[in-house]
Structure 1
Amino acid sequence: MARHRFADRLEAGRLLGRDLARRHWTDPVVLGLARGGMPVAAGVADALGAPLDVMVARKIGAPTQPELAIGAVTADGAHLYDTASLRAFGLEPAQLDDRRASEAAEARRRQNAYRDEGPLKVRGCDVVLVDDGLATGLTAVAAVRALRHYDPLSITVAVPVASTSARERVETEADAVHTLDEPSTFYAVGQWYRDFHQVEDDEVHAILRQRSGSDV
């Protein structure tokens, strides 16, 4: 059983930020994985006194079970597939090209809608990539791979809760993975929140507007 069942993403962000603030960071930049990671990322950015920006990654769902992630893609086109899931569904990556292209286009649309300041400004910075949790880790890995092209000093993926398998997957790509909880039994990220409402575009925009008007 997890040590925390978070009231909501805001509480999770405050707790995660407090934990991360104990570490030394070089010019930290916090990136929230939209959409669910943004309220968590806001709390982390507050705790670190760091600028907040947004990163978009989309899951690639199985053809017969679209809610089941078998891959992920970012707005920059960085993508990956879970080979075990491909085998289980008898799929080859080429069979998912149309689905991948569609999700990449949606990721670009969302990223362009959320931000209008050009490329991410993370060169030479410690990037803290925040989500509300890691179930498979696929979207986080896709985001990390895309972020490497921006030449950050380091990339830490930080989440309130993660499955062991997802944490291990992300550790192969990120410089560090920071979690508050890693429950032995893990079905979905939402089971570790009392309030796990769908984060909509308006909430993402409001978070970014609030931060752009702050002194951080």
Structure 2
Amino acid sequence: MITTVALGDGVGAAFTGRAGGVSTAPYESLNLGGAAGDDSAAVQDNRRRVAARLGVDPGRTVYMRQVHGAAVAFVTSPDLPGPVDAIVTTVPGLALAVLVADCAPVLLADPVAGIVGAAHSGRPGTAAGVVPALVKSMCERGADPARMTAAIGPAACGRCYEVPETMRDEVTAVVPGAYSITSKGTPGLDIRAGIVEQLAAGGVTGVRVDPRCTIEDPGLFSYRRDGRTGRFAGYVWLKGDA
């Protein structure tokens, strides 16, 4: 299943699910992550299937080497110089992808300026400010936060994302909105709420949040639930050809 998201005229955006691919257990079936241990041919087949569904060129899709940091790269081709957790482009037809399995995939666009971005924002990245760094990078290239739209995809929810109290304290010291108590009454983190807070602080208020929890929803990959598993993705791109 692929869920499309409206981020403005001339912008394509979507989040994938778990079904519709060729990978076998424990990656079944639409695993898009190339570093999770799955057969590389299956991953490439899955990526081609998604690209065909979205109408993008699989050879012009940028997949990051994500490291839970806050580095942002401006890209004009699928080649990246090193690991980053956020990417920006102004090139039509170049799709940006973010891979996740509990972390939040964040997609941003300013359709008027012709700029899109994607970020991988888990616990460390959210605390490090990867999404604010992405907003800043887009603004440096002409984006206006008041025009920007954002989509935060499925992620571990605050009811399920249990962490030690000290870890919650460390994160919420810099991102207060991420504070949560789980359904068991234990310390938790609501990463998506924290990202919404960060976006609002940066002037981005046009935010769509996918409410699905990766831990609760078997139609999504979840590392915290399953351990060895695949990755689903968020994609964003400017429509048209370069």
- The two structures have a TM-score, normalised by structure 1, of 0.38
TM-score when normalising by structure 2 = 0.35
Please identify which structure carries the higher helix content: 1
The structure with the largest strand share of the pair is 2
